[in-house]
Structure 1
Amino acid sequence: MGFLRIDPMMVKLIITLLLATFIPAKGGFVDFFQYLTTAAIALLFFMHGAKLSREKIIAGSSHWRLHLWIMTSTFILFPILGLLFVWWHPLNISPDLYTGFIYLCILPGTVQSSIAFTSLAGGNVAAAVCAASASSLLGVFISPMLVNLVMNVHSEMPGNGLEQIGKIMLQLLVPFVIGHISRRWIGAWVEKHRSLIGKTDQASILLVVYSAFSEAVVNGIWHKVGLATFGWILLGCLIILAVALLINIVASRVFGFKRADEIVVLFCGSKKSLANGVPMANILFPASTIGIILLPLMIFHQVQLMVCSYIAGRYKAAGEKQAQKEAAPRVMESQK
């Protein structure tokens, strides 16, 4: 029943939402949590930069057709799906939640879970490392530009798109680059303490979610979102993910990718990053709307983990069955 397993991070998100609902940050604590969140996010991207090995990038970067399709799926296919979804307007939800659906569609893919699912399913791990890392890095530039192009948020907040991209580069890309440059000195320590990156990742997300939802609670988010709305959001996430998975499978077979590469396309081309999306939203959107805009992304995060966990298990079982079939004639031959 791995398909039904709840991600521990989702439990922590729910606890954080409850905490923000009953004990929201107010007054001077708002600024305190803002500074703390910025520091945690900078540390997170510094650690990711230090973790990324140039050897792994080189090893996985040679399959250009594979990476081109994954980038196309992440930054072209998904935004088109988001726009079509809003045009179709199938859900009984507020305009801010539809904005949240478009926002999740323009985000880069995940890094850790994409690689983990690729490994579990028996896919091309080196290519997954390269594709997921490239998606996350390019997303720092592409996602805010798509936000301004598709969502036109620059009319709602001070500054323009270039200023927003500059803020994102300063908070996300600069620490990443410094971390990668520092790898020669701290790389061994980072490899030894990989779990620390996961904890920093989760802590930064939870801090931003708490800050965003504290603001949202003060502005009456729970008067706008009920159980029925959560059900509509869940349905929307399932529709978008199912279409993206189907298109990626079909594209992999049309392009003639091997099974190991098809797995990479499936998991790197159909997932969206909570770790990138939450801090970016904190920069791109007005504080009063961040909480409700992030709801579709948080629900999509859990949906993609559950569905992809099930798919990875199916690929693994199929791969083991195929390996047994191929091994049987050799065993029989050796017994003769």
Structure 2
Amino acid sequence: MLSRIDPMVRLLALAIVLATLLPATGAGRDAAQLVSNMAVFLLFFLNGMRLSRTEVARGIGNWRFLAVLAAWSFLVLALVGLGVSRLMAPMLPPLVTLGFLYLGTLPTTVQSATAYTSMAGGNVAIAVVAAALLNIMGVFVSVPLFTVLGGGAEAQLGASGLTKIVMILILPFALGQLLQAKGGKFVTDNPVLVRWMDRTAIAIAVYVAFSGAVEQGIWCLLDAGSWGWLLAGLTGMLIIAYGGAWLVGGALRLEKPDRIAFLFGGAHKSVAMGAPLALVLFPASSAGLILVPLLIYHLLQLVVSAPLANRLNPAGQ
């Protein structure tokens, strides 16, 4: 039964349990933060090697699909996140409600959005390119968007924060692109190893962030009623994200394969981008609480996507 659970979900659960039992605090947190920064650097370096410049150019050519998907993912869902955060404000701690807004400003996933697009019989090529490009955009768009809509709350966006973004996220991706000719074959020939390196980097970032949440007393701050409100808010976001993305794809008169790619690309949110970015933007004591909505949304989007993909592509069952 355990083997049927998505490996990323299992790693995230392990990171949360480990952070609950053995949180990184004090000097240990500084060491864990350093390890996390190194792992995130490697994650974005591998992403730079993985996405060929030819694919980027070809994907940019489908500007109509990409422009609307970007507007939906960043602008519309950011406003939805803002609305949900304000609705949940009386029921949840401030940092957790801020997490709804943070969730809304993030780009789509790469791996799961494309995997479910494939399962549903969608256009995998455009899904891969669109997801990758939106993640590149996310480094530049998510931060200022969150700052504008959230009033800069909790975010450390001074010169130090911008330097971290450049050094830990943008620089390694650029290096990966530059060294693609030399190292691209390694990424192509070792997909399983690279995938697990990705997952491990994300899990480390979640562990460090959630350690801060444990230190702040997350299990005392959120009682059964609070968890109920949290799930209610996330359920509302899921309905809007999936239903809206499908309707927008129909309004664009996309062919079914492209509409399926738009659906999963427009509804999914990336913990691979969200967890590392949170550690750059927020103090460790705040990042874990802000990440709570994203972590649960990530789990729920996988639960929703599997039966939905089978329904869209009965032949693939």
**TM bin (shorter chain):** over 0.9
Amino acid at match of 2:128: V
- How far off its partner does 1:128 sit? 0.9
Give the aligned partner of residue 136 of structure 2. 137
Give the aligned partner of residue 202 of structure 2. 205
- How far off its partner does 1:91 sit? 7.3
Q: Name whichever of 9-18 and 131-140 sits farther off.
A: 9-18
Q: Distance in 1 between matches of 2:12 and 2:97?
A: 21
Whether the 8 Å contact between 1:91 and 1:236 is mirrored in structure 2 is no
Give the aligned partner of residue 16 of structure 2. 17
- How far off its partner does 1:101 sit? 0.6
Q: Which runs of 5+ in 1 are unaligned?
A: 322-336
Give the aligned partner of residue 52 of structure 1. 51
Q: Distance in 1 between matches of 2:171 and 2:163?
A: 10
Whether the 8 Å contact between 1:100 and 1:294 is mirrored in structure 2 is yes
- How far off its partner does 1:106 sit? 0.4
Kindly name which structure, 1 or 2, has the bigger radius of gyration based on alpha carbons. Answer: 1
Whether the 8 Å contact between 2:109 and 2:270 is mirrored in structure 1 is yes
Give the aligned partner of residue 228 of structure 2. 231
Q: Distance in 2 between matches of 1:110 and 1:295?
A: 17
Give the aligned partner of residue 329 of structure 1. none
Give the aligned partner of residue 308 of structure 1. 305
Whether the 8 Å contact between 1:60 and 1:128 is mirrored in structure 2 is no
Q: Distance in 2 between matches of 1:198 and 1:320?
A: 24
TM-score (norm 1): 0.88
Amino acid at match of 1:152: G
Give the aligned partner of residue 105 of structure 2. 106
Q: Distance in 2 between matches of 1:16 and 1:258?
A: 40
- How far off its partner does 1:232 sit? 2.3
Whether the 8 Å contact between 1:48 and 1:197 is mirrored in structure 2 is no
Amino acid at match of 1:165: L
Structure 2 residue 250 is matched with structure 1 residue 253 = yes
Give the 5 Å matches for 1:23-172. 23-89=22-88, 92-153=91-152, 156=154, 160=158, 163-172=160-169
- How far off its partner does 1:78 sit? 0.4
Structure 1 residues 34 and 90: CA distance shift in structure 2, 3 A: closer
- Residues 164-210 of structure 1: per-residue CA shift (max 9 Å, x gap): 33421221111011011111011111101111222122111211222
Q: Distance in 2 between matches of 1:197 and 1:238?
A: 32
Q: Distance in 2 between matches of 1:69 and 1:185?
A: 35
Amino acid at match of 2:211: S
Give the aligned partner of residue 324 of structure 1. none
Q: Name whichever of 308-317 and 140-149 sits farther off.
A: 308-317
- How far off its partner does 1:316 sit? 1.6
Which of residues 156, 176, 188 in structure 2 aligns to 1:179?
176
